[in-house]
Amino acid sequence: MLDKNDTTGTKYKWVQTKLGGIHFSPRCSMPITTAPNNMSAYCYGGVFDIEDDEDLAANFFNDLFYLDLERLVWKNVLLTGRKDPKTKKRKEKDEQTGDIDIQTIFFFYNIPNDTWTVVKAPAGPPPRCGHQMVVTSANKGQLWIFGGEFASPTQSQFYHYRDLWVYHIAEKKMGRK
């Protein structure tokens, strides 16, 4: 938080806050990004692992929350816009079960207009979850994506990414850094 009474020159300090509004369920591996032009942050999806002695199950979330950074209030954003049904999937070959569809679709969601846009980025990153993103207004808008992990549906493959990607919004081009 910005410390308006700072005399040390650092201007910022960590403070514990109580957030109001919607309280979403516990989760991890959800990307959170701030909006470059206003005091807000967005949290999308995530997963909650359910472990017992012998099994591991998970609840995957497909929801979006908005945090007003001035009022410190969470709000749920209803994702109601229709997604394009003609999107392509990449198939993953799994030794135990055969072919399994893995989505490699890159969507933009326009909150004010309640619309989804499929972004065609053939040189984009492979499927992942638990990645982090940040949107900047630099160079007419950029979306930076870092890291994440991939686990096949049968948990037979698992990989942690350490890569960095940038999507140039105005140019509609994706590249690896």
pLDDT on residue 3: 67
Is 34 part of any domain?
yes
> d(Cα 126, Cα 50) in Å, to the nearest integer?
26
User: Is 55 a domain residue?
Assistant: yes
Domain that holds residue 60: 20-81+106-176
> Which residues on adjacent β-strands are paired with residue 41?
34, 67
Residue 76: CB atoms within 10 A of its CB come to: 12
- Which comes out higher in pLDDT, residue 47 or 55? 47
Alpha-carbon dihedral sign for residues 102, 117, 145, 79: negative
Query: For residue 138, which phi and psi values (nearest 5 degrees)?
Result: -60, 145
Statement: residue 101 has pLDDT above 60: no
Query: Is residue 162 scored above 90 in pLDDT?
Result: yes
User: Which pLDDT value is given to residue 164?
Assistant: 95
Residue 174 tokens, joined? 């994706």
Domain count, the chain: 1
Phi, psi values for residue 17, rounded to 5°? -125, 160
Q: What is the mean pLDDT of residues 156-173?
A: 87
Tens-digit pLDDT profile for residues 114-150: 777 777 777 788 877 788 888 888 898 888 999 988 8
Is 156 domain-assigned? Answer: yes
Q: Is the pLDDT of residue 103 over 80?
A: no
Kindly state whether residue 63 falls inside one of the protein's structural domains: yes
Question: Regarding predicted confidence, which is higher, 145 or 4?
Answer: 145
Residue 87 lies in a domain: no
Task: State the DSSP code for 38.
Answer: S
Share of the chain above pLDDT 70, in %: 76
Two tokens, residue 171: 């140019």
Extract the tokens encoding 53.
Answer: 């002695």
Q: How far apart are the first and last CA of the chain?
A: 30
Phi then psi for 63, rounded to 5 degrees?
-125, 165
- Measured CA to CA, the distance from residue 108 to residue 72 in angstroms comes to 25
pLDDT for the residue 87: 45
What pLDDT score does 161 carry?
92
Q: What average pLDDT does the structure give for the chain?
A: 76
Is 129 inside a domain boundary?
yes
Residue range 101-114: average pLDDT? 66
Is residue 73 very low, low, confident or very high in pLDDT (cuts 50, 70, 90)? very high
In a domain, 92, yes or no: no
Cβ atoms of 58 and 47 within 8 Å: the answer is yes
